[in-house]
Chains A and B, each alone.
Chain A
Amino acid sequence: KAGVTQTPRYLIKTRGQQVTLSCSPISGHRSVSWYQQTPGQGLQFLFEYFSETQRNKGNFPGRFSGRQFSNSRSEMNVSTLELGDSALYLCASSEKTVGSNLEQFFGPGTRLTVL
């Protein structure tokens, strides 16, 4: 099976702009989660989607949003970019069974730089 893919791999934006990142999960995986990785804050959970519904959300401002499509592909959007949004954004997918948290498989990430 192909792994998790993320596009684009690199992105440079300026403050105030908005950005959309895309994630295609492993075939058959219905759960998609997003994480932000920065040198200062480490790996932080953004949100999780399952069957097109947001199941869980981390402690990020409303500028960070996401969605999932019927084919399980997911996008995340950051509006009004700030310098502090510069980070590696990682997407992860997993199968989902009731009452059991399975391993998540990560994509290569999108490196976002805000100038």
Chain B
Amino acid sequence: AQKVTQAQTEISVVEKEDVTLDCVYETRDTTYYLFWYKQPPSGELVFLIRRNSFDEQNEISGRYSWNFQKSTSSFNFTITASQVVDSAVYFCALSETGGGNKLTFGTGTQLKVEL
């Protein structure tokens, strides 16, 4: 069965600090997809990134970067020079090609960025 673990329940940082959110997944499929979503206080889940299991290239988008390592089944997310607007709950999710579009979410990491 598929499973996503986000061991960090809550992280607090001071603005401009770098922060890494951890995500570890379990799946028996050889083809799968990993996602990160952001949920600000407004409640709407905002899509950040999608990565398929055959693409282990790290990705950078502005202050955001993702490190995908199949050897450790991890898909970690780093925010560089954090800002107050980054405060939100961040979810890592997994979907398997045999499961349609079903997303299995981790429990989320609450990130608080303070001045």
Contact = CB atoms under 8 A, between A and B. Distances in A.
B47 A102 contact: no
A45 B108 CA distance: 15
Interface residues of B, number: 26
Contact of A109 (B44, B97, B105): B44
A103 B100 contact: no
Nearest to B32: A101
B44 A33 contact: no
Interface residues of A, number: 29
Interface string A58-74: 10000000000000000
B108 A104 contact: no
Interface in B83-112: 91, 93, 95-97, 99-108
Given A88-B43, A103-B35, A107-B44, A43 B101 contact: no
Given A42-B107, A105-B47, A106-B45, A56 B102 contact: yes
B43 A103 contact: no
A33 B101 contact: yes
A48 B100 contact: yes
B50 A42 contact: no
Interface in B17-64: 33, 35, 37, 42-47, 50, 52
A33 B108 contact: no
A22 interface: no
A79 to B, nearest CB: 23
| CB-CB nearest 8 A-B residue pairs | A106-B45, A43-B105, A56-B100, A55-B100, A101-B95, A101-B33, A103-B50, A108-B44
